[in-house]
Amino acid sequence: MGSAALGKMPESETNPTRGSMKMGIKKNNNEAQNEGSKRTGSDDPAKRIGTPTGTATTAMREQVCFNDFQASDIEGQVRPSTINEQADNDDSEGYRLVATALAAFTNGDETGDAQFQSIIKRTIMKRKIIQGEILMRQGDGGDEMYVLESGTVQVIKNNVRGDVIEAGGVVGELALIFDAPRSATVEALEDCVLWALSRVSFQFLLAKQKLRSRVQTAKYLREAGCLMKLDEFNIARLAVAMQRDEIFNNQTLVEEDEMLEKCYLVIEGQVSISSTKLSIDDLQKMFPNKTKVDTSGSTPCLVCESGHFLGIALLSAAVCPHPAQPFDDARKAMRSAVTIQTLGKVQCSYFTIKQFESVLGPVKTVMANGAQKHFGSHRRASVPKINEVLTMSDFSISTFLGAGSFGKVVLGECKKRNHPAFGKNFAIKCMGKHLIEKGGDIEHVKSEKELLGRMNHPLVLGLLSAIQTKDVLYLVTDYVESISLWEVIYKRIDLPADRRAEISKFWAAHVFEALSYVHSEGIAYRDLKPENLLVDKMGHIILIDFGFGKELPQKITSNGEEVWSNLTYTVCGTVEYLAPEMILGGHGHDHTVDYWAFGCLLFEFIAGRTPFVDSAGEDDYRKIIKKICASRFHAIDISERVEGIFGTGQAAKSEFSYFRDLVSQLLKTETHQRIGNLSGGCDDVKRHNYFSTVDWASIANKKAEAPWIPRIHAPTKPAGSDATNVQPYQGDNSSFADW
């Protein structure tokens, strides 16, 4: 059991200014079964549970917890009722208004894509409201974004009348991202015509289209035969890295004797392949699959159907160049022996050899031996059994540590003689079964227990035992005296100013070592932030709380076939740390969102704020999300004010340069370009110049000497005689049989 710290309940935070959330597409069944449920409102305070030693819990943070759709939903077994089945809905004005608003909000460039256009047209609905009618009310839930075609509406916040929105204006954009309460009331000042875009329907169809596209691309790559050394995980990574292009009739992809740099895959449509030097038999040997001979023209050619991979020759040349077709290693290109032209409209995807090597590694090595797998590389075939010997009677409860939405966290000393834990203190999370069942959180709590039970690292919260009685579930975790890193950063706890950069790097190394371990176990963490990091009494950082953790890949159904998917669709975490691919949950995301969040955290350690807010405590979600989406076109500004923290002199300038470069590489909006997700995996980050002075072995085993040690105050509040008493559970205990 690795050293760990006191965790918190799944929906618990101390910072009132940054909402942690779990949000996505609403399930159509009544209760959530997989990843938590929506929780808002005063009846569920969601206070932080597991407050570290000496921490005074401040005002609770606003929190939204909302379920995603599951694979069965995406495949159409459960369909949102608001989808317009008439795919030829060509109201040009409605589409133009909604597409323009969507592009402005997300800085998206997909509105020209035919499939994306079809999704919008199938999900927009025309609405009419009369003067004085309330379009939305502050505090109510919301699923739709509205764009005005005609008329005016006024925004009313806290009973104060504000902005007037005219034709072309937009209200309720955040509803496209998550199911948060409406931030204002909107009233019609005159009769209005609006277009509504539903999050549920839009993201449902978007996810369905993206999923099928990825599965289809991966299938075509496997069928090509030349990538047989790649496993499913890396085939999927290559598929994600491929760029899509739509090409019209009689356009040339490559001309004979031109330099060929792209490996094309025909997704939809047909292309012709011809050559002035090669015979039809030669062409058929070069392109053996999914082709037919066409002799109707002046020059015989091959016609390739959908699913044909045109990159075999280029990959072969890169691996083993032929004297007749030399490979230019500097350009990663070869001279094409054929001309490839489109026949009608063609959709194709492609990757370059440079992109291939960036994602998977040297082409010769990969083609011969396959690509190294980093994520899930140390995943165990079976999860170790959690200690089942202990019962609650084996613990002496002494001190109250925190309160949360399911119950309490208390300090307990193991008093069972001859047990390895005898005499040690533990943090015991007490969760009432009736509250767990009421919130639809049975599977969510079980998942957290399973993930905690797999952890065995000095820098990650572990689990000693899971216990249950008729009414209560208990998680017994290691306890260490500690303070929340959020408090250190935002409560102005004194840090030596001249050592801020050194301390920040020490923290960052700990965080990334812990994150690397979690990823090696095949788990996407998805909620990296200071609130989930503790500084122990020796100054080391410990990662806690697996409430949003997700094991990947997962089995899904696509076109009736069961396949493995690296992606999940719950938009979860804290807004300031959301990766761009999470903003519209229909795109799906994987563990690489953690590298983006780590980039935000690295910046935050130095700057005292996250990169997409103007100042600490900003809570304008719309503004933050627009900045995150805009980062695909505008790199974040790492200002001179931040540079000054590194000090003066050439060494300080170099250190700042390394810091800026690492943050920039972590905050790449394209996942296949993001450091940590490249061919070297987490090692690319560890080998970065910023961490050149770090002894990773001493970080991992907590032997490194901390440059700063916090003052820790022991908890003093008695647990009380009713510490573990909760409301009796009247339900079916078989739901908790495998606890």
pLDDT tens column, 187-228:
999 999 999 988 888 877 777 778 888 888 999 999 988 899
Average pLDDT score, the chain: 83
Query: What confidence tier does 171 reach under pLDDT thresholds 50, 70, 90?
Result: very high
Better pLDDT: 111 or 301: 301
The answer to whether residues 570 and 540 belong to one domain is yes
**Structural domain span for residue 184:** 87-206
Model confidence pLDDT, tens digit, residues 443-471 = 889 999 999 999 999 999 989 999 999 99
For residue 46, tell me if it sits in a domain.
Answer: no
Instruction: Encode 517-567 in three state secondary structure.
Output: HHHHCCEECCCCCHHHEEEECCCCEEECCCCCCEECCEEEEECCEEEEECC
Query: What confidence tier does 57 reach under pLDDT thresholds 50, 70, 90?
Result: very low
Q: What is the pLDDT of residue 338?
A: 94
R_g (Cα) of the chain, nearest Å: 28
Q: Which residue has the tokens 């960036």?
A: 358
Q: Which residue has the tokens 């032997």?
A: 703
Look at residue 260 and tell me whether its pLDDT is greater than 80: yes
Look at residue 32 and tell me whether its pLDDT is greater than 70: no
From 158, 184, 206, give the residue that closes a domain: 206
Split into its structural domains, the chain has a count of: 4
CATH number assigned to the domain comprising residue 536: 1.10.510.10
Q: What is the pLDDT of residue 47?
A: 29
Model confidence pLDDT, tens digit, residues 500-556 = 999 999 999 999 999 999 999 999 999 999 999 999 999 999 999 898 999 998 877
For residue 53, tell me if it sits in a domain.
Answer: no
Q: What is the pLDDT of residue 723?
A: 63
For residue 10, tell me if it sits in a domain.
Answer: no
Q: How far apart are CA 208 and CA 587, in angstroms?
A: 9
Contact (CB, 8 A) for 509 and 486: no
Q: What is the pLDDT of residue 722?
A: 64
Q: What is the pLDDT of residue 432?
A: 94
Residue 527 falls in the annotated catalytic set:
yes
Active-site hit among 44, 73, 143, 527: 527
CATH number assigned to the domain comprising residue 361: 2.60.120.10
From 478, 507, 538, give the residue that closes a domain: 478
Model confidence pLDDT, tens digit, residues 59-112 = 333 444 444 455 445 544 445 555 554 444 456 788 888 888 887 777 665 555
The answer to whether residues 526 and 632 belong to one domain is yes
pTM: 0.82
Query: What confidence tier does 606 reach under pLDDT thresholds 50, 70, 90?
Result: very high
Highest averaged pLDDT of the listed ranges 39-48, 283-292, 417-426: 417-426
For residue 733, tell me if it sits in a domain.
Answer: no
The answer to whether residues 196 and 217 belong to one domain is no
The answer to whether residues 151 and 276 belong to one domain is no
Q: 295-330 burial, b for 16+ CB within 10 Å, e for fewer?
A: eeeeeebbebebbbbbbbbbbbbbbeeeeeeebeee
Q: Is residue 416 a known part of a binding site?
A: no
The answer to whether residues 247 and 231 belong to one domain is yes
Q: What is the pLDDT of residue 493?
A: 78
The answer to whether residues 110 and 198 belong to one domain is yes
From 206, 226, 246, give the residue that closes a domain: 206
For residue 12, tell me if it sits in a domain.
Answer: no
The answer to whether residues 417 and 273 belong to one domain is no
Model confidence pLDDT, tens digit, residues 386-437 = 666 799 999 999 998 887 778 889 999 999 998 999 999 999 999 999 999 9
The answer to whether residues 472 and 487 belong to one domain is no
The set of long-range contacts for 357-362, using a CB threshold of 8 Å and a minimum separation of 24, is 357/332, 357/679, 358/241, 358/672, 358/673, 358/678, 358/679, 359/237, 359/238, 359/241, 359/672, 359/677, 359/678, 359/679, 360/230, 360/234, 360/237, 360/238, 360/679, 361/679
